[in-house]
Structure 1
Amino acid sequence: MEADTYTQSAFEAELPIPRGMARIMRFSNDQPTNHVFRRGAHYWLDLCLTPRPEKARGCYSERWGPHRFERLGEIFLVPPGEALHVRTDAGDNQASIACEIHADSVDHWLETPLEWTDRRLEGGLDIVHPYIRSCLSRLAEEMRHGGTGSAELAAMIAGQLAIELARYLEAISESPITGGLASWRLRLIDERLHRGGSTPSLGELAELCSVSIRQLTRGFRSSRGFTIGDHIAQTRIEMAKRALASDDSIKSIAFALGFASPSSFSYAFGRATGVTPLRFRQRHLRGRE
């Protein structure tokens, strides 16, 4: 890691895992951030527990040059030996669970060594994977509320996380992208999702992009490495996290995001994050104190 990476962060808790470490970290974002993650022999996984700052972007400048910055999702990955340049706007303080896993713990499960293609690097900047998210969230809960057998349970969760990460990375094809959606179509999809309101149907998004539903679903997966359904669901959760940092009522947030009721919003949010919207808001408020 570069020397300036965590000058504005603090550890809330940490938990050793086999050949690695999991930490809950709090970042001060009162100023725009501009730093570089460089991992040695470890994979670095970051799951935001509070909303990421607006316009959080990452660039593998040694691979892509200094100007190509891609969006950072709820979960992002920095591979061993790679340097990720991260920029964000100023905003509220942020909390994340950061998990370091030795490369051998993940690579052991790979059928063949990975080639870190542009597509695979980009796919690691926005990981939409329910099992990876679940493992990271479970480690965070264990750090905060661990009890009997905590070390043994953390080791098992970390073992599952290593396997799920290996599977995810293998699923991103090493071949050149063919049949993917054009960048302007991907941008239109993201712009529509961030407008809020009722969840767009596949038909609406296909019409927006001037393609068939089949072309939309296959092209999106080819471009991003995950399904458009997963992307829609995760985008709504990220928007919910940002809204919960405001003074809007949970009921109004649920309807603004297109949920049929506050209870359906609470169920979806809890399934994705492991906590209720109210509990998430309370944690966010404590982090700002």
Structure 2
Amino acid sequence: MPNTARSSDHRDYQRVPRVVTAMARDEEHGVTGTPHSHERAQLLYATQGLMRVRTDAGMWVLPPRRALWIPPGVVHHWTALSKVTMRTIYIAPDAARAFGDQCRVIEVSTLLRELILALLDEPIEYAIPGRGEYLAMLILSELAAAETVPIAIPWPRDRRLVAICSAIMDDPGSSRNIEQWADEVGASARTLIRLFPKETGLHYRQWVQQVHLAEAFNRLAHGQSIGEIATALGYASPSAFSVMFRRILGKTPQHYLTEWRQPLTQRPA
């Protein structure tokens, strides 16, 4: 049996005889994990830093206080967009079924964060009954009540949309409209307008706004001002960008900046 005293290898946590296990791992800016999947579900979470996660179905950017639910067996890989303090949990497949079979971003409450950190203070094979077991059950309860956050960049399969989406990801501030993209990829604008919701679940403009949110999180994490971000993404003014941001996420960019600069507690992450 592997030594799981505090391994940072995800493989060491998949068959531990406990419903919930927790792993701590720190990564430097720019590090990318290899594509992999888990026998267990994963709540991919970092108390500090910014991560980008990719699957065949889409892409997510995770700022602090947000985590990605990844069901068992889903192949994914992540990139640290800044220095990251990853504090992730793995949940046995039977218990994970209650939380769905699709990746989604959830809001990490103060309580859920503290429960995850507390479980990391316990042995990997915590006593049953005992404090570790109680923490694990509370984590499942808090996860069940967690709010889903509408941050996602669903990825298409149609080659024409892939070409468009890849170009937008490379240049999020591009001002090209659907008609201009149609000329470039050899399809009518009407065809592209129909394909976007069919392939991604989002209309073209909605998909672009998700890319803008992801890019905004990245730029906020690296110290750019809201004005600089609005200009880089092609918005007429900082207020126009903030209106879009708040309409989708219910919070302003300034709110996120305040969150990141003020830790939830003085407890070490």
Q: What's the TM-score bracket when you normalise by the shorter of the two chains? A: 0.5 to 0.7
Q: Is residue 86 of structure 1 aligned with residue 55 of structure 2?
A: no
On the 8 A contact 1:47/1:97 being kept in 2, the answer is yes
| Counterparts of 1:145 and 1:274, CA distance in 2 | 24
Aligned-pair distance for 1:215?
Answer: 1.8
- What number of residue pairs does the alignment pair up? 220
1:94-151 Cα offsets, whole Å, 9 max, x none, are 36785766655675699xxx8xxxxxxxxx6xx6xxxx54xx12x43554699xxxx9
> Per the alignment, do residues 222 and 99 of structure 1 end up closer, same or farther by CA in structure 2, a change over 3 Å counting?
farther
Give distance in 1, aligned partners of 2:114 and 2:70: 27
Q: Name the residue aligned to 1:140.
A: 109
Q: Over residues 151-205 of structure 1, what are the superposed CA-to-partner deviations in whole Å (9 max), with x where a residue is unaligned?
A: 99x94872586xx8xxxxxxx9xxxxxx9521x5413333135423365433333
With the length of structure 2 as denominator, give the TM-score of the two structures: 0.56
Q: Does 2:265 match 1:267?
A: no
Which one of 168, 171, 191 corresponds to residue 192 of structure 1? 168
State the TM-score, normalizing by the size of structure 1: 0.53
CA distance in 2, matches of 1:86, 1:233: 23
Question: Percent identical across equivalent pairs?
Answer: 20
Structure 2: 5+ residue stretches without partners: 12-18, 63-67, 116-136, 149-153, 264-268
1:158 counterpart (132, 144, 152): 144
- Structure-to-structure mapping, 1:99-248, within 5 angstroms: 103-104=93-94, 107=97, 132-133=104-105, 136-137=106-107, 139-140=108-109, 143=112, 155=141, 158=144, 181-182=158-159, 185-192=161-168, 194-197=170-173, 200-224=176-200, 226-248=202-224
Q: Which amino acid aligns with 2:158?
A: L
Q: Is the 8 A contact 2:27 2:86 kept in 1?
A: no
Q: What is the aligned-residue RMSD (CA, Å)? A: 4.9
1:86/1:211 CA distance change after superposition, 3 Å: same
Query: How far has the Cα of 1:233 moved from its partner?
Result: 1.5
- Say whether the 8 Å CA contact 2:161–2:192 is kept in structure 1: no
SS in 2 for 1:234: helix
Structure 1 residue 93, shift from structure 2 partner:
1.6
Q: Structure 2 vs 1, CA of residues 87 and 209 (structure 1 numbering), >3 Å: closer, same or farther?
A: same
Q: CA–CA distance in 1 between the matches of 2:71 and 2:218?
A: 28
Tell me the equivalent position of 2:121: none
What residue is the counterpart of 1:74 in the other structure? Answer: 61
Read off the aligned partner of 2:178 and give its amino acid letter: L
- Structure 1: how far apart are the matches of 2:231 and 2:256? 18
The structural deviation recorded for 1:239 is: 0.7
SS in 2 for 1:232: helix
Q: 1:107 to 1:45 in 2, by over 3 A?
A: same
Q: Which position in structure 1 is the counterpart of 2:228?
A: 252
Change (3 A) 1:104 1:159: farther
CA drift at 1:241? 1.0
Cα distance, 1:238 vs structure 2: 0.5
